[in-house]
Amino acid sequence: MDVQAFLAELDELFELDPGTISPADSIPDIPGWSSLTFMGLIALVDEELGITLAPDTILGCATVGDLLREVGLTPAETNAQAA
Amino acid sequence: MLDATALADRTILVTGASSGLGRAAAVMLSRLGARIIAVGRNEARLIETAEQLAGTGHLVRPFDLSAIDEIPGWMKSLSAEHGPLRGVVHSAGRHLARPLQMVKPDAVQELMQINVTAALMLAKGLRQRNVFEAPASIVLLSSVMGQVGQAGVSVYSASKGAVDALTRSLALELAAIGIRVNSIAPGQVETEMAQQQRQTLTEEQFERIRALHPLGLGRPADVAHAVAFLIADTSRWITGSTLTVDGGYTAH
Ligand SMILES: NC(=O)c1ccc[n+]([C@@H]2O[C@H](COP(=O)([O-])OP(=O)(O)OC[C@H]3O[C@@H](n4cnc5c(N)ncnc54)[C@H](OP(=O)(O)O)[C@@H]3O)[C@@H](O)[C@H]2O)c1
């Protein structure tokens, strides 16, 4: 899964229009951020990337970009793929 | 009375015997004299369970219960080979924690298949002529989530509510042929399933769950004692009931 696809999954989880969430966004400020979407995020990373993220790792991520790096997706890849 | 001969010469099939509550139940029943047929998919882990069982003559029979059509025939061949069963403990099961927007039909299907349909098919398998010997007892592992709700756990809750409802109707249908059916609704017990759940919770969320259990979190043996009581003749006048074993979780 590439960065764009992952961001699209995030938009779906938070029920935002496609293309809303970007790497610079602050995670706790995403509209709809709650213990339920938190649970969903862990499930998403597990199902789509096969990575078990510790809850505290997510809490340690300030931005979506930090989260992308934690799961081995770097925002720079987006540009590479878009190019 | 529950002593080391309470289940002597009785063969009990235990699903989910490769882990957690099923393993603890198998060990407990073996200490009361039962011969265990340990079922699950992971053979190595079933063998680990077998090594912990008291007494001799136990069997390890790997089987994937999602092959639900095959369950009755498989039970028929088990009993043909090893004699009639006196009980079934269904502890194989799955948990799912997902916000609704992430719930997919396939995952619902899979969970219902193992938690509910397999339970029904095990009862169907047991009731066949020569597969059971009366008095026999079926114990289905349910959960407090079948009685109270929790956000994000709707699919699992629905499956456990179904297990409790199934227990009542099966009890009525099978009473005449000497098979009792009961379920056990545990609160949070420290097992692998609980460990997996814990990985989706922050320390703070986990503490909140712990605090909702006035007697603290359970141990596998707490549930295994309830299984033993319901499998043995100590519960001969109990059928169609759900025994809550939850450290006070649902007393709120
Ligand atoms: N632990 C708790 O706090 C708790 C609380 C309330 C209710 N419960 C209920 O108690 C039961 C046991 O839970 P647990 O904590 O012991 O869970 P667990 O440690 O995750 O064990 C689940 C068992 O199910 C078996 N299983 C899963 N799918 C199977 C399949 N298709 N075919 C055959 N076996 C299968 C697994 O064996 P293989 O991997 O070898 O197939 C494993 O032995 C479940 O019904 C659960 O919902 C548990």
- What digits encode the pLDDT tens for the residues B76-101? 999 999 999 999 999 999 999 999 98
Does pTM top 0.90 for this prediction? yes
Beta pairing class for B242-245 and B179-186: parallel
Tell me whether residues A43 and B151 touch, CB distance under 8 A: no
CB B39 within 8 A of CB B17: yes
In this prediction, residues B94-117 reach a mean pLDDT of: 95
Which domains does chain A carry? 3-82 (1.10.1200.10)
Find, in chain B, the residue whose alpha carbon is nearest to that of A47: B102
* Close Cβ partners of B221 (under 8 Å, ≥ 6 residues apart): B24, B28
Least confident of B2-6, B30-34, B64-68, B129-133: B2-6
Distance CA B67, CA B70 (A): 6
Q: For ligand 1, is residue B189 a contact (CB within 6 Å)?
A: yes
Would you place residue A80 in the very low, low, confident or very high pLDDT band (cuts 50, 70, 90)? very low
Flag whether pLDDT at A82 surpasses 50: no
Touching check for A2 and chain B: CB below 8 Å? no
In this prediction, residues B199-210 reach a mean pLDDT of: 85
In this prediction, residues A24-35 reach a mean pLDDT of: 92
Q: B11-251 has which CATH code?
A: 3.40.50.720
C-alpha distances in angstroms, B218 versus A77, B14, B21? 47, 20, 11
CB B101 within 8 A of CB A15: yes
Q: For ligand 1, is residue B13 a contact (CB within 6 Å)?
A: no
User: Which atom of ligand 1 has the smallest separation from the CA of B193?
Assistant: 20
Helix axis angle for B220-231 and B20-31, nearest 10°, is: 50
B156 is a catalytic site residue: yes
Q: Locate the domains of chain B by residue range.
A: 11-251
DSSP assignment of A58-74: HHT--BHHHHHHHTT--
Q: For ligand 1, is residue B197 a contact (CB within 6 Å)?
A: no
Distance CA B59, CA B38 (A): 6
Tell me whether residues A40 and B101 touch, CB distance under 8 A: yes
* Close Cβ partners of B15 (under 8 Å, ≥ 6 residues apart): B22, B39, B40, B65, B88, B89, B90, B91, B92, B118, B122
Q: What is the pLDDT of residue A76?
A: 59
Spell out which residues of chain B touch residue A52, defining contact as CB-CB under 8 Å. 199
CA nearest neighbour of B193 among B252, B124, B111: B111
- As to burial, measured by CB atoms within 10 angstroms (0-12 exposed, 13-18 middle, 19+ buried), residue B202 is middle
